[in-house]
Structure 1
Amino acid sequence: MTGADDETDETDEHDDETEAEADPPPPVSQEQFLEWRSPRFGAANPESMTNPVWVWLVESGFNAWKANKLLDGPSALGAGPGWCFERFGRSTTELPDGRTVLVAGEHEDHYDPDFYIYNDVVVRHPDGRVEIFGYPREVFPPTDFHSATLVGDRIILIGNLGYPRERNPGHTQVLALELETFAVREVVTSGDPPGWIHEHTATLAENGRAILVQRGKLDRGEDSSLVENIDEWRLDLETWQWTRLTERRWPRRELRRSDGRPNHLWEYQQAGWFRSVGWEKDLQEQLASLTEELGTEPDLALAEQLFRPSVAHEALADDDDAHDTVRIMVEGVLVRFVNTLYAVQMTVEGDLPQETVGAIAGELRDRLTALENTPYELHEL
């Protein structure tokens, strides 16, 4: 996820003004905008919330900041987030009759004043019409990074990241969106669920009798990091019972700064890229910033070798779909390193001698400690 830059220069401001001048006049009045600028929960299941402002935002693709600027609305810093259809973690389902159903999602992240996790449903009709439905929070919690599987006349919504305070580790959110009425209902399941999962895949299987859930991330609670889901689950669509299909006991390690602060691996990566393309000015600015934050001169050579352990290994090509992941092969076993803002997670996808796993993880801890100029802790996941 990305956020707006904190700094602008005169050129950026001029570009913004030129862009605003090129946009057609909003098809809504300021009075209408002020009435509908803010997101809200529905009072019924569902409540029709189709209105000119939200329809305009769906059709134009303008984010909340731009809409607010065009209509001279109040700052989100004081008035709260504006309604927005520019979202991450939203599901899109194409129906056989040509309609498209778009469910919930979030705009930006917590650092943005327009950050919000939605619990609405937007229907785009083949003739261009747009319908928007809202729901009470207790019927349809704010939901993002879920899966949506079309099953007959329903869409089964599995999983959710949601606001941290509303997550329920160990439980898997399952909702059914009825396409005849657009009502949402909770599906009570049994068995062995994946847990609080998001960013996964859900595949209709067994001639429509089950949904197979794979990959994604899990919130396991207890102040732990989000961890990769390395197993597979089956949800029976007749009994609504979860069955765990795999229980992989792969060695997994997590490395975090002892002070709990975010790491600087992205900044190191940017510096390395600036050097590779010859952007000397940007490189020097990044190195100066890193030096100030780390309290020592950054070691780009060490950063480039961070995930190249001393044990014999083969470096694998980057996965285009996982920019935050580095993969190597050790003794025929895949080892993956996943970067997050607060941690590096290491997963060994198979059997390696314990001493080999320990050597790779220990060396990585020492390198991270040197790169960040602060102690790192090593934990089993």
Structure 2
Amino acid sequence: MPSSTPSASDDGYDSEISSTTSSDHLITDLDFDPSITSTTFLTHCKPLLTVPQNPTEVTNPFYTSMIHSRRNAWSAANHFLPNSETRPYPIWCFDRLGKTKTKITTPIETSRVGILPVGTEIRIGGEHEDFYDPDFFIYNDVTIVIPETKETHVFQYPRDVFPPTDFHTATLVDDQIYVIGNVGYMGERGTKAQVCVLDLKTLAMAMVETDGDDPGWISRHDASLNEGGNIVVAIEKDAFCVKDGGCQPGKWVFSVADARWMKLDTQGEEQNGEGSVGR
């Protein structure tokens, strides 16, 4: 049976972060790699807006240090440019809201980074800060971390196959991860639910053209894999859904086989009465 890891938010590194309670945002539990210089910081600190290939590996010493030090953008700038009156904005950061973590449950051989062992963490997208902050940024990347060795890879994608994405879910189905939903940047939101699929063998991402009774532009939802190998999505009626008017609360099933949406009634059955869908 396929396996899944439904997740609307990251419960990994972010939940371990401890910060000061004053206006000082410095995270103090771990430090930067001492080999990272201010020159390295200035070379790699700004997130890339576009990349040429699907996927494009963008791993560099600064990104890796940010991932494992658990520092945020503000503290990175103050660490590497302590006496500077100006600094670049935004700064690449792994301290994010609305990113997902999926753990690999069986070894997977990839064409890019070798074998992903059981327990490998796949972290997808997310945002840092909010729109009013100069370090605000929504990411369209995939970060691979092998906990036992700390081996780390960061891949970024062309926006037409994987737009900047946050507050989605990530569901593991065999050797693919289905990335469903997105808040995204204002002005870039659609009327249909965003569905992308990450091929773990190639690490390529694809935008999925869907059909059926679409739930609209969803985010902050729950997702799980049912016994039939399809993804059940539960959508609450929240403020974001009401404000944007493109989201339909309720329960829906996404068919992995034919990329088709179908709404469920309150008992979890298909509305056309052709059978039930497990949760």
Give the one of 95, 101, 111 matched to 1:92: 101
Residues 1:247 and 1:136: Cα distance change in structure 2 (over 3 Å): same
Residue aligning to 2:39 = 31
CA RMSD of aligned residues (A): 3.1
Moved more, 115-124 or 198-207: 198-207
Unaligned runs of 5+ in 2: 1-20, 106-117, 268-279
Residues 1:23 and 1:121: Cα distance change in structure 2 (over 3 Å): closer
The answer to whether the 8 A contact 2:160-2:207 is kept is no
Residues 1:105 and 1:226: Cα distance change in structure 2 (over 3 Å): farther
Unaligned runs of 5+ in 1: 1-10, 249-381
TM-score by length of 2: 0.75
TM-score by length of 1: 0.56
Whole-angstrom CA distance in 2 between matches of 1:17 and 1:135: 30
Once the two structures are TM-superposed, the CA of residue 72 in structure 1 deviates from its matched residue by: 0.1
Residues 1:220 and 1:28: Cα distance change in structure 2 (over 3 Å): same
Q: Percent identity?
A: 39
Runs of 4+ off more than 3 Å: 15-20, 22-26, 73-78, 216-221, 224-230
The answer to whether the 8 A contact 1:196-1:219 is kept is no
Once the two structures are TM-superposed, the CA of residue 232 in structure 1 deviates from its matched residue by: 0.8
Is 1:214 matched up with 2:234? Answer: yes
> Higher helix share goes to which structure?
1
Residue aligning to 1:52 = 61
The answer to whether the 8 A contact 2:213-2:263 is kept is yes
Residue correspondence of structure 1 range 123-134 to structure 2 within 5 A: 123-125=144-146, 126-134=148-156
The answer to whether the 8 A contact 1:34-1:73 is kept is no
The answer to whether the 8 A contact 1:76-1:114 is kept is no
Once the two structures are TM-superposed, the CA of residue 207 in structure 1 deviates from its matched residue by: 3.4
Residue type of the alignment partner of 1:67: A
Residue aligning to 1:147 = 169
Q: What SS does structure 2 have at the residue aligned with 1:166?
A: coil
State the Cα deviation string for residues 281-332 of structure 1 (Å, max 9, x = none).
Answer: xxxxxxxxxxxxxxxxxxxxxxxxxxxxxxxxxxxxxxxxxxxxxxxxxxxx
Q: What SS does structure 1 have at the residue aligned with 2:35?
A: coil
Residue aligning to 2:262 = 243
The answer to whether the 8 A contact 1:43-1:136 is kept is yes
Once the two structures are TM-superposed, the CA of residue 27 in structure 1 deviates from its matched residue by: 2.7
Q: What SS does structure 1 have at the residue aligned with 2:132?
A: coil
Once the two structures are TM-superposed, the CA of residue 215 in structure 1 deviates from its matched residue by: 2.2
The answer to whether the 8 A contact 2:103-2:121 is kept is yes
Residues 1:23 and 1:91: Cα distance change in structure 2 (over 3 Å): closer
Whole-angstrom CA distance in 2 between matches of 1:18 and 1:77: 21
Higher RCO (Cα < 8 Å, 6 or more apart): 2
